[in-house]
Structure 1
Amino acid sequence: MNASERDRLSRLWEEHMRTPFPANMRRREIEGEDMVYLDASIAVGVSSSLSEPFDEERRAALLSCLAAVEKVLPLIDDEGGANEHYERLRAMAALAVEIGNAGPR
C-alpha cells in the first residue's frame, strides 16, 4: 500500500470519528445484519489496521464485514446520512484490507 492510500484511510477514519452515527440505524437490522454492530466491527478493524500489523484473523473478520456492508448498502435509505455513513465504512474496510494485504509495515 502506498502512502496516499494510507493517508486516504486516515482521512476517512478522522471523518468517521467526527460524524455522528445515523440515528435511524440504531436498533435496526437489515438482511440479518445489526447495523450498529456492523459499524463497530468495521471501526475496530480499521482502527487496528492503522495502529498495528494486521493478522489473518483480523483480515478475515474485516472481509466478512466488507461483504455484509456491500450486501446491505443497496437497501439503506439516505435518511439522516445513513447511506453516506455506510459508504464510508465500506471504503475504509476495503482500504484496511489492502493495508493487511501489503504485509508488515
Structure 2
Amino acid sequence: MAEANLDQLAQLWDEFRAMPFPRGFYLREPEGKCMVTMDSTLAGCISSALDGPLGDRYRDILQGRITVLGTILPSIADDEYATEYFSHLHGTAVLAAEVDRARRE
C-alpha cells in the first residue's frame, strides 16, 4: 500500500510541478498568508517526503501548512485557476503526509 501511495505521490508531484504559479498570488495574501511562502514550504516538504521519512520538524511544518491551506482554499474561490493550483498542492501535501505516516508504521 505504501509503495502505491509513493507512486501516486510522485505522479501528483510531477503534475503539480508542471503548473505555473498563479500570477495574481505573488502579492495576494488571503487570510493574511503569503501564498508564495505557502507554496515553497509545502513543495519542500513534499519533495523531502518523496526522498524518505520526514524529521519531526518537517512533519510538524507539513501538517501545519496542510491545515492552514485547507482553511484558505474557500477564500480564493473567486480565482478558478488558483483554486485548482492550490487544491492540487493541498491534495499532494496530504498524500505526502500519508506516505510519511505509512513509513513510520
Are 1:59 and 2:64 an aligned pair? no
Query: Where does structure 1 lack aligned partners over 5 or more consecutive residues?
Result: none
Query: Match for residue 74 of structure 1?
Result: 74
Aligned-residue Cα RMSD (Å) equals 1.5
Deviations 1:5-27 (A, max 9, x none): 11111111101111110101111
Q: Which range moved further: 65-74 or 49-58? A: 49-58
How far did residue 55 of structure 1 move? Answer: 1.2
Query: Where does structure 2 lack aligned partners over 5 or more consecutive residues?
Result: none
Greater share of helix: 2
Q: When the two structures are aligned, how many residues end up with a matched partner?
A: 104
How far did residue 93 of structure 1 move? Answer: 1.0
| Contact 1:76–1:83, Cα closer than 8 Å, also in 2 | yes
* CA distance in structure 2 between the aligned counterparts of 1:78 and 1:23, rounded to whole angstroms: 14
How far did residue 46 of structure 1 move? Answer: 0.0
* CA distance in structure 1 between the aligned counterparts of 2:100 and 2:55, rounded to whole angstroms: 7
* CA distance in structure 2 between the aligned counterparts of 1:80 and 1:26, rounded to whole angstroms: 16
One-letter amino acid of the structure 1 residue matched with residue 90 of structure 2: R
How far did residue 65 of structure 1 move? Answer: 0.5
Aligned residue for 2:54, secondary structure, equals coil
Query: Match for residue 35 of structure 1?
Result: 35
Aligned residue for 2:103, secondary structure, equals coil
